[in-house]
Structure formats: C-alpha cells, structure tokens
Amino acid sequence: MIPFSPPYISKKAIQAVVNVLQSGWITTGPVTKEFENKITAYCGNQKTLCVNSATAGLELMLRWFGVGPGDEVIVPAYTYCATANVVAHCGAKPVMVDSGADNVNITHESIRRAVTAKTKVIMPVDVFGIPCSYDEINSLVREPEIMKQFHPSNPVQEKLGRILVLSDAAHSLGATYHGKRTGNLTDVSVFSFHAVKNLTTAEGGAIALNLPAPFNNEDIYAQLNILGLHGQSKDAYSKTEKKSWRYDVAMAGYKMNMTDIQAALGIAQLEEYDDILRKRKYNFDAYTNAFRKYDWAVLPVYETGQFLSSFQVYDLRIKGITEKTRDKIIDAIMEKEVSVNVHFQPLPMLSYYKNLGYQVKDYPNAYKHYAAEISLPVFYSMTDEQLQEVIEVVTDAVQNNL
C-alpha cells in the first residue's frame, strides 16, 4: 500500500525530542522560544508565537482583534472547515466567497464584493500552499472607500483603522510571493504543523505577526502569550525562577500553548526544510511531466514568475468529469492500494454550514474545482518506483472510467 502522507521524521528529529524528554522540562519553555525565533528568521516577519494548532492561532487572533457577534469575516468557500469554524466560535458570521475560475484561491474582486460595514477581518487561505494575491488584498483594505466602511468597535480596531488581513497559511510555510516568504506577506499569518504538513510537530501551529506601525509586535506577542495561557501573567517556565512563583490572571484566557517536545521536532525539521521542499518539488515535477501528455489532465500551477508554492498538495484535476465519475476513479485507484485524497469539500456542502443556509450552488467555481480534484501522494520518503506506480494506477483508473 502506498500511503498518502506519512510524516517525515529524521534521526536528528528523534534525537532532538529525546534530548527534551531527558532535560527535565517538556512543556512550554526555552526550546519553544528558540523555535519561535527560528521561524521569525526564516519567514522574515516581526515576531512569532507558537501554539498548539493553526486553528487555535486563528481563533486567538480573532479574539485579540475583538471579533464577535454582529461582525463578519470573509473566508473562502473552498477551504478546510477550521477556517470558518473559528469565526463561528467567536459568534461572528463567516461570509463565504467563491474561488477564481482558474485559481483555487479567492480573488480580491470576490473579496471586494463581499465587504460590508460589518466586515472586520478577511481570511485568505493559501490553498495547497499557493500564496494568495496579497499585493491586491493588502491594497484593497487600504482603499479610502473600503476604509470608510470600517467601523471599529474597540481600541485595537481603532488603532488599525481598517479591516485586518489574517492569512490562513496552514499549507504554505516556505512558499514565496514576489520573492517574500509567507509569514511576511500581510498583517498576520498562521501556519499549521499538523501531522500531514510539510513541517510537522505532530500537532501545532504558529502565528507570524507582521502588523504595521503604530503596533509593536513584541507587545502583541506578550498579549497573545497571556490570552493563550489562561490569562496568566507568567508561564510555567518563568515561574521556576527565584522569587517568581507569584502570578496574576488578568482575563479568562485559553489553553493554546505549544510544548518543548513539539518545538524540538519543529526545529529539527526547519533545519532540513529546504531539502524537504526540494524533494516535494521533485515529486510534483514527476507527476506533471507524466500527466501533461494527456488531454484529460488539468495540471496544478505551482511555480510562476509571481509565486512559488510550498508543494503541500498535488491537486490533479480531470477535465470535464462529474463528482460521481471522480469518485469512481478514486475507488479504482484505492483498489490498487494507492492512497489518494480530495481537498477540499466546499464548506456549503458540509452539514453544519448547509443547515445555516449556505448553498454550494452559490459558489460554482469552488464546486467545479472540488468535483474534478484528486490529491496525489507527495511525501518525502517516496521512491521513484512508488511515483511510477501512482502514475500508472491513476492513468489506468482515469482512462478506464472516462
């Protein structure tokens, strides 16, 4: 059986975790702080906070910005449910917008049509590791007519004076847009280090802070540390210093911290990350070179003069097929013991959002992308023989079911 996405864990990473386990300190501490600093250096943003998931990171930022009932947050219809779920957790309304006709990401034109006086945040998603058009999105929120519609409801929102751009960059660590890495492309970006991501800490995520003046990202980092750890004024490691046991709780905060065990794994993987991306690109190129000769293959665009993806998901699409036929093709592939997947089911197709009144017919591009999509395995340890087997099995399954 060829698996879909087994994690890559090197001997170096295993030893790094063992070192933490033997250190006597396994929760949030010096290794987590080191990982935060290394992410900041890698991405080029102002400051980074590691958390226990990308979902937690997104929600933490929404709550820091004061998003709540009566507010709207613009999200893609074509994304994983976590993007919209965190908006619902805050009591706000997810306003879904369609993908581009030839682009899985949302466009600034679709965002513009969705902005209202209730809009507080735009959450673009770097689907499959492809950065969104951040130049256009960043310019959009600064347009005088868009800024006039913004009605701040707290001092933080007044200080920014416009809609916050909160990037769901769960897929895109290491991707670049106009030569700049994700994390450094807009106000705030949130990464995922879930088990299926290119860089994994098993579970985990990071908030890449990059807010403009007059914000001080160091100060925001300190605020988020408190908000994400029960509202405590000190974390457990700080309380181990002499005469430092006493702490205060300033608010009813949350439990969103990363552990040093996770961070040790993350540091080791970040040190090997260029090689991880190189190997995944090799796999992407192998698929593209094999499938480009077939008229039925719609190949992903993962490298242009404008952007370079992080090679998170190879999204092969089959031209002109229905969802039902796509599912038959997947069944035929799986019968040959090759694991494939589908990214993503548009949010309006999921029962929770369907029951709230969202309808997938209102997002035709998102549905079109989904109905024809098959995600192929691209894991680090994949051999040339496995790549060839996937190519042959997928080709046979498609041609026998068209």
pTM of the model: 0.97
pLDDT of 233 reads 83
Q: Which of 291, 315, 304, 301 is nearest to 373 (CA)?
A: 315
The Cα–Cα gap between 257 and 288 comes to: 40
**From first to last of its 402 residues, what are the pLDDT tens digits of the chain?**
999 999 999 999 999 999 999 999 999 999 999 999 999 999 999 999 999 999 999 999 999 999 999 999 999 999 999 999 999 999 999 999 999 999 999 999 999 999 999 999 999 999 999 999 999 999 999 999 999 999 999 999 999 999 999 999 999 999 999 999 999 999 999 999 999 999 999 999 999 999 999 999 999 999 999 999 998 887 877 767 777 788 888 889 999 999 999 999 999 999 999 999 999 999 999 999 999 999 999 999 999 999 999 999 999 999 999 999 999 999 999 999 999 999 999 999 999 999 999 999 999 999 999 999 999 999 999 999 999 999 999 999 999 998
Please indicate whether the domains covering 11-271 and 273-401 agree at the CATH topology level. Answer: no
pLDDT of 246 reads 85
Spelled out in words, what is the top-level CATH class assigned to the domain 11-271?
A: alpha beta
Q: Is the peptide bond before 214 cis (omega within 30 degrees of 0)?
A: yes
Fold of 273-401: Aspartate Aminotransferase, domain 1 (3.90.1150)
Fill in the DSSP letter of residue 120: E
pLDDT of 237 reads 72
Q: Is the peptide bond before 364 cis (omega within 30 degrees of 0)?
A: no
Residue position matching structure tokens 């090799």: 282
**Is residue 99 within 8 Å of 108, Cβ to Cβ?**
no
Tokens of 297: 């293959």
**Is residue 146 within 8 Å of 154, Cβ to Cβ?**
no
Fill in the DSSP letter of residue 180: E
**Is residue 142 within 8 Å of 149, Cβ to Cβ?**
no
For 175, 177, 299, 309, 394, the CA distances from 313, given in Å and listed in that order, are: 12, 18, 12, 10, 16
Three-class secondary structure of residue 335 per DSSP: helix
Domains of the chain, by residue range, sit at 11-271, 273-401
Q: Where are the alpha helices (DSSP H) in 169-272?
A: 217-227, 260-271
**Is residue 328 within 8 Å of 372, Cβ to Cβ?**
no
Show the CA angle centred on residue 282, arms to residues 313 and 135, nearest 5°.
Answer: 55
> No. of H helices and E strands in the chain?
15, 15
Show the CA angle centred on residue 262, arms to residues 257 and 263, nearest 5°.
Answer: 85
pLDDT of 177 reads 98
Q: Which of 59, 41, 37, 64 is nearest to 49 (CA)?
A: 37
Q: Where are the alpha helices (DSSP H) in 80-143?
A: 81-89, 108-114, 134-140
Which residues, in sequence order, are bridge partners of residue 99? 106
Q: Which of 158, 75, 69 is nearest to 114 (CA)?
A: 75
pLDDT of 240 reads 73
Tokens of 129: 């590791």
Tokens of 226: 């408190």
Show the CA angle centred on residue 311, arms to residues 307 and 312, nearest 5°.
Answer: 120
The Cα–Cα gap between 18 and 12 comes to: 10
pLDDT of 202 reads 97
pLDDT of 251 reads 86
Amino acid at position 315, single letter: D
Tokens of 222: 């300190």
